[in-house]
Structure 1
Amino acid sequence: MNGDVHVDLKTDSRYAGRLQYSCSNKICTLRITDLRESDSAEYKFRFITNQPGGRFTGSPGVTLSVRGLQVQVRRSSVSYWATLMCYSSCHLPDHSSYVWYKNGQKIQRETFSSYSGNFYYPDSYSCAVKGLEGFPSPSVCGHGHSCNRVTYTDRSICAVKGSSVNISCIYNSYDTDIRSKFWFSPERSLQWQNPSQPEDLSEDSQYAGRVQVLETERGRSTLRITDLRESDSAEYHFKFTAGSFEWRSSLPGTTLTVTDPDLQVQVIRSTDYTYNQAELLCHSSCRLPDHSSYIWFKNGQKIQTETSSSYSDYFDSADSYSCALKGLEGFPSPSVCVYGQTCNRVTYTDRSICAFKGSSVDISCTYNSYYTDIRSKFWFSPERSLQWQNPSQPEDLSEDSQYAGRVQVLETERGRSTLRITDLRESDSAEYHFKFTAGSFEWRSSLPGTTLTVTDPDLQVQVIRSTVYKNYTEAELLCHSSCRLPDRPSYVWFKNGQKMESVETSSYKDQFYPRDIISCALKGHEDFPSPSVCEFNRLFQRRYNTN
């Protein structure tokens, strides 16, 4: 509740990225993922009808209690002897097996809910249900309260590309002389000089100029990453060394997911249907930057005055609305109808497409007109505006000489249009839009269309698994591209310049020696191979610390 107003949980930032609704035959289900103890509450369902005063809430609701695992210490009067109990106030699966951790490292032999032994002041202990190791208990001290431990503030965080994020933990060392402390990501292990020794993220070139480590209070460390990229999606861990002790946890850290804003417009309709009054809310399944400003679009055209996440007005059945974060206008929400489902709107299937020179591409959209008499519809590219007879009037791409004989417009079903371009050239790299006119209405959107990038295959060879032995490396390699590949492509692999006839898939497993050189190409595009890699010499050097 916000005062006397019922608030849809989807718009509550505390549940961002963790909620799903599903309704069928008047049975509605709320799914909450990544549960937190703060989610413990009473939940109620509400629906609104088209009748005056037709708003209903069921009482009482459903009371949810969220409880994590806990370790209870039962100390003996005999020296350091104690028994640890792993328990939950929630019902656990029958015959559960347990995993125990000492100072963050797995104790291999323990599978019971209790663990007995001698426990000393520096050591911390945690437990998890086997198969659910991603949800361990907080670490507890076997004796006292100043043992070695690290506790992460968040198990998972979702953040928007281009924004900033703070990843925090609370740590404690039994030994006061902490020699080093830093954040690292296990996903970067292939780049470490020694795979068994994590490396400080602040010295990683991928994060250059984008990482700060803040310590505003004793025992609390915060990793701040700015200008977030999708490649920053990873699990992040904190490590410290004190005296001869080194904290290197096999417990989970904090998982960061970096994504588009994933905005949605929610319509809160007034009960007074006479005036078509409503409120629109712009929200995201991901945590948005604080104090975000918003841009609203009506029928694809920017509404200049709106900067807040909500927009109230009187709405016409013909009009559609969309929103975007200011500064991230390239990632708007889908357009929605405030009343009915037949408003004017265009929705592109893909925001961006990457394709190869010489290949073909399909660029599609779905469209709808409130008016039935569609007079014209066509695709155009704003980049070609200098060639238009009237710069304010887009021109049909199928009549553009640059695309002569290479363009088709397909409409295999009502309300769906596909622009097919064949024999692609780099000059075709552009943004493509769809336009229609119906009655006196003309859809000419300032919302983004589909951006096409035409390039060479841009293949890379990546080592995804490797085991280094004394004289050779067993590895699995992946041939991948930053560009979208044709469906079910065939590959060609080259080892020391020789074509490997038996391998036509994107992955390649083999034994490799330090001087081996590997590359890959798409079958039929052998003139555009990946750069050659000699990763095995580097892996071998790291394993044995040789020159």
Structure 2
Amino acid sequence: MRRFFTCRRVLLTLTSLRESRGAAMSLTAAASGFLVLLLTVPVIQGQYGWGVAYTSTQICALKGSTVEIRCSYSHPSTNEFRNAKVVERFWFTKTSNDVYVDLRTDPEYSGRVTSHCENKVCILTITNLKKSDSAEYKFRFTTNQPDGKYTGSPGVSLSVTDLQIQVSRLHVYGSYNWAEMKCQSSCRPPGHHHYIWYKNRQNIQTQTSISYSGNFNPADIFSCAVRGYEDFPSPPVLIQSQSDWGVTYSPTEVCAFEGSTVHMRCSYTYPSTTYPAVQNTFWFTKEKGGKPVDLKTDSEYSSRVFYYCYEKWCTLTISNLKKSDSTEYKFRFTTNQNGKYSGSLGVTLSVTDPRLQINVRRSTLHLNSTWTELTCQTTCQLPKYVSYIWYQNGEKKKEEQVYFHPHPLNPEDNYSCAIKGHETFPSPLVYAPKLPSVSVSSSAEIVEGSSVNLTCSSDANPAANYTWYKENQTHPLSEEPHLVFSSIQSSDSGQYYCTAENQLGRTSKYINVNVKYAPKLPSVSVSPEIVEGSSVTLTCSSDANPTANYTWYKENQTRPHGEGGIYRFTSISSEDGGIYYCKSVNKHGEINSSSLILDVQYPPKLPSVSVSSSAEIVEGSSVTLTCSSDANPAANYIWYKEDEDSPKASGQIFNITDFRAEHSGSYYCEAQNNRGRSNSTLHLTVVAETWKSAVFGSTSAFFLAIIGFSVFLLIRKKRATRQSSEPVEVPDNREQPVERDDIHYASVHFANNQTDPIYSNVRPAERRIYDEVEYAAVKFKSAGTSPRSQENGEDPDELYSTVNKPAEHNRNR
């Protein structure tokens, strides 16, 4: 065993809270302190190299002061623990099922405890000491090695007390009252310090010593405090005297439970010059015939009252208290020299129901374990020997202490306590929150933009704390019972849950918030490529609550083009292209979508081809061929000549600047895009310049001949008519020749090599398929008649025309 021999001084510093205890005791706290020097005995604890040494086993401190508790520790240095490293060090006072509660995590010490460790020495500092801090404090440390942990036991016992006033002497000289009092405590610090004395709650400025030696009036109340710590005065003391006769009560007010036992104490004095002997002492509340009635003789207190008096101290004990016992109690004594005295102001007793309350403290030391402590307490100060009964779910537990540590802690359990012997007056039940009730302020629909209030409530004791969350979110929205939306939005829709929690448990309840709102701007969609003849679907959707109804419209059309959020074309055509939009409507409003352009793609239609010249194409002239086709996307154009594989040109226009005989023939234009192709044919024939003159001459002669022949026929008809209507005179000289009208002939001569007609024919056709060419031929007979003509019986004067036409089936090709 490793031993530690240390003798250290414990520094005890009293700190001032500097807060006013009320208008009657409003004082300015001084920045001062004092030391408590304690000679300590070494506390040696150790086993196999493990040890903790405390510098003191007993420490006494005043209420409101600050105390420091020191220790040093060690662990083995053997090979097994050569690499041992301390990973945790803390002070504790309590354990719960072998779980050590670090004081820094104990709510009772919150904000009042610090721990500092250096070079294997640790100091625990507790400020603003309370009487409840009186306990045994121990130090524990653990290492990173298996089983490498140790607790110094026993620890350091701390006693926290307050100041008390002791009346050492009391004298009365006529109307002059004089007393000597001392401000003392079992933890009175050594050395010279200033004290503050109060009389009737007012500061006595001239009194700064530990003792007060001065006059007083009957019924004056005194208290004292250490300067700088005026917030922690002694209990008030009432001093009553008359001509050296006096009674002092401490305390002057007592609170007790119905059915409990109470103790009231006083001290008394009387003149010492006559050396009287006290013959009788008793307590009373009533007077009969002007004389006090001893409680022992009062039937209401029969067998419930007990007196104990010793050396001018007398204690009244009343058991089985009743509410009717609430009154003022006074002490009276008499001497053998007919001396008698009663305190004019006594002790006021208040008897109430045992209003016990359970205080719940909870601290988490490890993630997987909790420590919970229940304390049975009341506003009345109970004696230390009182025993308690604890109940869990109505079942009595064996523990009879003021503290109870439920393990395991079940949120479904409830707890209560009572004073032993007064089980009929248990405390209210404490329990974890029940399943919360959640509600919404509006019983009707929740409409966007309105104010909405969600409320959460739960039956719990202690009262529950509430926190609001939205589903799938970790940060709280509110830490109050209410979650308020001043102007709720559609995005606020969803599941919300309220958590009700106290020190005994936690539970949650969900509520669905369904915000109704007018349709938002609809989104419209269609497949990116639309081909003629395919099936096409237009889709319209809008965020709305309740669900919206949809209507489709086409540009410049006031009637609905389609119903529903989906509009289908089973076989779309180019005529269906255009601008569309849909309307979204519910009972809260309506809105139109943005425009949707429906671009229908299709292959080129049959091209239209044309030539720049409407007359004959003369050799050497310039010729422009044009091709156009309706297509989406726009078509590309390629020109071909029959019987040639290579294209002649690309583009919508094909120019031939110097047209020759070899350019004659059939041309076709092919229009194509990524959806298909189509073509049309154009037939071109060239005419030489000499041919043109001959043709024009022949044509003129032809028309002159027709005119002359027509005139001849007309004249001949008129003569025949005139001869038939007038008598004919026969000339005498018949041999004389008869006069005739002159007949004019127009002769048209065609060269042999100019008999072919000039033509230009444009006709659409499929690629390399040509329509039959229609020819018109006009024939004239010459003035001379060939033998062949006479043999055939042809009239040399006959003018005729022959038109060669294609067969009917060719015409309709």
Q: Which gives a bigger RCO, structure 1 or 2 (Cα 8 Å, sep 6+)?
A: 1
User: TM-score by structure 2 length?
Assistant: 0.30
User: TM-score by structure 1 length?
Assistant: 0.42
